[in-house]
Amino acid sequence: MKFKDVFEETYLALAVNKARSGLTVLGIVIGIASVIAMISVGAGAQGSIEASIQSIGSNLLLVYPSFARGVGEQVRGGFGSATTLTVDDANAIASQVQNIAAVAPQVTTNAQVIYQGQNTNAQVIGTTPNYTQVRNVQIAEGNFVSDTDVQSYNMVAVLGPTVVSNIFATGTDPLGATIRIKNYNFRVIGVAASQGGTGFGSADNAIYIPLSVAQHFFTGNSSVSTVNVEVASAQDMTQAQSDITNLLLQRHNIADPTHADFQVLNQASIIQTASAVTGTFTTLLGSIAGISLLVGGIGIMNMMLTTVTERTREIGLRKAIGAKRKDISTQFLMEAVMLTGIGGILGVALGYLISLLITSLSGTATAVSFESVVLAFGVSAVIGIVFGYYPSRRAAGLNPIEALRYE
Amino acid sequence: MIECRNIKKTYGEGGDASTQALKGVTFSVKDGEFVAIMGPSGSGKSTLMHIIGALDTPTSGEYLIDGKNIASFTDDELADIRREKIGFVFQAFNLLPRATVLRNVMLPLLYDGVPEEERKSRAKKALKAAGLDEEHFGHLSNQLSGGQMQRVAIARALVNNPAIILADEPTGNLDTVTGEIVLDTFQRLNEEQGRTIVLITHEPDIAEHAERIIHVKDGLIVKDGKEHVRRRVHHK
């Protein structure tokens, strides 16, 4: 039998039972579509998290204070509770470690911000001019905090775009305005450009003030909450990370590295961790959707078994007029594969539509990858073959005499 | 031509449970003959039909079709024999419902790998030979009357130019008048085209349309002869 003839026979057989074929295909469509849509959500999340980590700067090392621990005590404070990381540490890193492009210490607090009766909560970041370079902050209007501002304790603030839109009426120029942060008046000297990204707390909802001001008025001590370090090139990251660790251990007089009161995080490893998390998330979503694909496959098998039983006499006749086992099994296998094939095509289309819909309705980024389409299609073909195999074998194995007698 | 030599068929595995449906049957049918195999139910005629039709193999004995002994053929080899040498006409027609008349008749050629155009022309020729009007060719088979359906089935049996046409109670599902029309079709094919036809029936009236009647009873041939006056269907 020629392939074209098999194809035609298959089409005609499926067309006879349009409703049943349609419903069986629907099972596969739902399965494939949910796999595609779920994987696209996962992949989209992965992409946007990676992008937001990238947006905070490149070749970045973050030095955080670690757990506060008294000498000989086993009780740890919370993460970041140590107050031992200082501006001097930051300066030491800048001057003593090789291949460092820039260092920007920062103090971070959350505070209420008020302007003419409008108020919002924002992240207040006390830092130095280097911050723009290290953390990739672009200034849209005015200027960033300058060295003079830091040295002279100038009460000036640079606003993130979200803060501006939250407290200023549309069209108002924030430059030069006086805002209140925790009951202190600040003059707005600049507005930062949007960095986008939703992960790690939006950088757009931040207010930048001089480091000295933040330490003096908000935290009341000379410690810093993060030292941002930009390494000259990606190859130097690991070396710089261990150099910084050694330098700080030495400066803090800690002999045992496991008792370090700080932590150096590598941006590359943060991305790796985030990728691993979203990868797991994607796999989980895909697996749940995969179950519906499996159910769809069982639907195919169910329909094929019913079909074989219903068409027993037809099978008997086909055998009587000269069809071999292979002709019969090919025909029924082809029917199953065609059902899953149609389901696969429609499912990919529907899955793509769903992912577009998710993006437009919820704003969650989605990405339908070529791989997921190939995967879904391959899986549907395999399902067709696997779940069609047993019924087609059963059909091919029928005895023509008994099949012809079947009522 | 077909030849049966001492064909025996036993069902079941030895012992008391086994039944011997054929106890040694020997006969032959020459090309161009119109033979009826007649016997009551349980006589073994169905078993004989299955063996003649290459649907089953005998337990012992030889069955030659065009000189080839197919008694020990495998399922797929038997399928080849059926495709090339045998045309079946069944009591229940066994047409594909919701498929056109033409497609039903083309079906055996599908398994022969005949190109579509040739399938169509041969199917049309067979339908004309079976006496079906051209206006019905495009109809769905389940829209036809019983007599028309059986003529479609006859055309399907003719289309691969078989060595024999095997008709199993072809009038069983038809009333007397349409039954006569179908039997007339067989007679015409036998006389005008020289087709070899083997008709299996339990009704003497039907069997008498053949030139020769083989009587089967209890798994044996009890009478094989031509000494009857062949009944004729009167043409208009």
Looking only at the bridges linking them, the beta strands covering A184-192 and A226-231 are: unpaired
Question: Among partner residues A12, A325, A404, which is closest to B94 by beta-carbon distance?
Answer: A404
pLDDT, one tens digit per residue, over B37-93 is: 999 988 999 999 999 999 999 999 999 998 899 988 999 999 999 999 999 999 999
Which of B47, B51, B52, B94 to probe by mutation at the A interface, max A CB count within 10 Å?
A: B94
- Pick the closest to residue B147 from B87, B112, B95, B214 (CA basis): B95
Alpha carbon distance A146, A149 (integer Å): 5
CATH code of the domain containing B147: 3.40.50.300
Residue B236 has pLDDT above 50, yes or no: no
Is there a domain that residue A124 lies in? yes
Q: Are A245 and A257 in contact (CB under 8 A)?
A: yes
The conformation of residue B66, written as its DSSP 8-state character, comes to T
For residue A47, the surrounding DSSP H or E stretch is: helix A18-55
Alpha carbon distance A234, A241 (integer Å): 11
Does one domain contain both A87 and A182? yes
Q: How close does chain A come to B115, measured CA to CA in Å?
A: 9
Is there a domain that residue A69 lies in? no
- Pick the closest to residue B75 from A144, A309, A326, A120 (CA basis): A326
Alpha carbon distance B99, B40 (integer Å): 35
Is there a domain that residue A65 lies in? no
A371 backbone dihedrals φ, ψ, rounded to 5°: -60, -40
Question: Among partner residues A9, A327, A400, which is closest to B55 by beta-carbon distance?
Answer: A400
Question: Among partner residues B76, B97, B110, which is closest to A5 by beta-carbon distance?
Answer: B110
Question: Among partner residues B82, B90, B116, which is closest to A322 by beta-carbon distance?
Answer: B82
Give the CA diameter of chain B: 57
Is there a domain that residue B72 lies in? no
Is there a domain that residue B156 lies in? yes
- Pick the closest to residue A166 from A111, A115, A202 (CA basis): A115
Chain A residues with beta carbon closer than 8 angstroms to that of B110:
1, 5, 9
From the first residue on, what is the mean pLDDT of each consecutive set of 10 residues in chain A (407 residues)?
82 88 92 89 84 78 74 52 80 90 91 89 92 88 92 93 88 89 92 69 83 90 90 88 91 85 85 85 87 88 91 93 92 91 92 91 82 83 88 93 87
Q: Are A101 and A232 in contact (CB under 8 A)?
A: yes
The residue among A381 and B124 whose pLDDT is bigger is B124
Supply angle C-alpha A224, A229, A231, rounded to 5. 170
Alpha carbon distance A90, A80 (integer Å): 16
State the sign of the Cα–Cα–Cα–Cα dihedral A385, A22, A8, B157: positive
The conformation of residue A216, written as its DSSP 8-state character, comes to I
Does one domain contain both A90 and A231? yes
| Domain count of the fold of chain A | 2
Question: Among partner residues B82, B90, B156, which is closest to A404 by beta-carbon distance?
Answer: B90
Is there a domain that residue B69 lies in? no
Does one domain contain both A340 and A364? yes
**CB pair distance less than 8 Å for B79 and A316:** no
Does one domain contain both A212 and A306? no
**CB pair distance less than 8 Å for A322 and B103:** no
Which whole-number Å values give the CA distances from B105 to B66, B87, B128, B141, in the listed order? 24, 11, 11, 10
- Pick the closest to residue A207 from A299, A144, A142, A281 (CA basis): A144
* Unique residue bearing structure tokens 């064909």: B7
pLDDT, one tens digit per residue, over B5-38 is: 999 999 887 667 788 899 999 999 999 999 999 9
Among all residues of chain B, which has the CA nearest to that of A397?
B75
Is there a domain that residue B179 lies in? yes
Q: Are A208 and A131 in contact (CB under 8 A)?
A: yes
Does one domain contain both A89 and A47? no
Is there a domain that residue A133 lies in? yes
Show which of A234, A260, A286 is a domain's final residue: A260
Residue spans of beta strands (DSSP E) within chain B: 2-11, 19-29, 34-38, 60-65, 68-69, 86-89, 164-168, 197-201, 212-217, 220-225
| Domain count of the fold of chain B | 1
Is there a domain that residue B23 lies in? no
Does one domain contain both A103 and A208? yes
Which residue type occupies A1?
M
DSSP, residue by residue, A81-94: -----BHHHHHHHH
User: Is A327's Cβ below 8 Å from some Cβ in B?
Assistant: yes
Does one domain contain both A340 and A224? no
Cβ-based interface (< 8 Å): residues of B facing A: 50, 53, 55-56, 75-76, 79-80, 82-84, 88, 90, 92, 94, 96-99, 103, 107-108, 110-113, 116, 156, 160
Side-chain-side CA neighbours of residue B77 (13 Å): 9
Q: Is B23 left (phi over 0), alpha (psi -120 to 50) or beta?
A: alpha
Is there a domain that residue B37 lies in? yes
Which whole-number Å values give the CA distances from B126 to B66, B96, B142, in the listed order? 23, 17, 19
Which of B89, B110, B161 to probe by mutation at the A interface, max A CB count within 10 Å?
A: B110
User: Tokens in use for A401?
Assistant: 């005499």
Report pLDDT for B154. Answer: 94
Show which of A239, A260, A281 is a domain's final residue: A260
Question: Among partner residues A9, A324, A401, which is closest to B79 by beta-carbon distance?
Answer: A324
Report pLDDT for A383. Answer: 86
Q: How much is the CA Rg of chain A, to the nearest whole Å?
A: 33
Is there a domain that residue B154 lies in? yes
Report pLDDT for A266. Answer: 87
Does one domain contain both A102 and A229? yes
Chain B residues with beta carbon closer than 8 angstroms to that of A406:
none
Residue B164 has pLDDT above 90, yes or no: yes
Is there a domain that residue A213 lies in? yes
Is there a domain that residue A59 lies in? no
As beta bridge partners, residue A184 has A181
**CB pair distance less than 8 Å for B84 and A316:** no
Does one domain contain both A218 and A342? no
- Domain membership of residue A349 as a residue range: 3-52+273-405
Does one domain contain both A158 and A289? no
The conformation of residue A146, written as its DSSP 8-state character, comes to -
ipTM value greater than 0.85: yes
Does one domain contain both A254 and A216? yes
Report pLDDT for A80. Answer: 55
**CB pair distance less than 8 Å for B98 and A327:** no
Looking only at the bridges linking them, the beta strands covering B212-217 and B60-65 are: unpaired
As beta bridge partners, residue B214 has B37, B224
Among all residues of chain A, which has the CA nearest to that of B76?
A324
Does one domain contain both A94 and A163? yes
Is there a domain that residue B169 lies in? yes
User: Is A397's Cβ below 8 Å from some Cβ in B?
Assistant: no
Report pLDDT for A200. Answer: 45
Helix (H, G, I), strand (E, B) or coil at B131: coil
CA B25: distance to chain centroid?
A: 18
- Domain membership of residue B101 as a residue range: 28-45+86-225
Looking only at the bridges linking them, the beta strands covering A262-266 and A60-65 are: antiparallel
Which residue type occupies B96?
L
Q: How close does chain A come to B173, measured CA to CA in Å?
A: 14
Is there a domain that residue A118 lies in? yes
Residue B231 has pLDDT above 80, yes or no: no
Is there a domain that residue A219 lies in? yes
Helix (H, G, I), strand (E, B) or coil at B64: strand
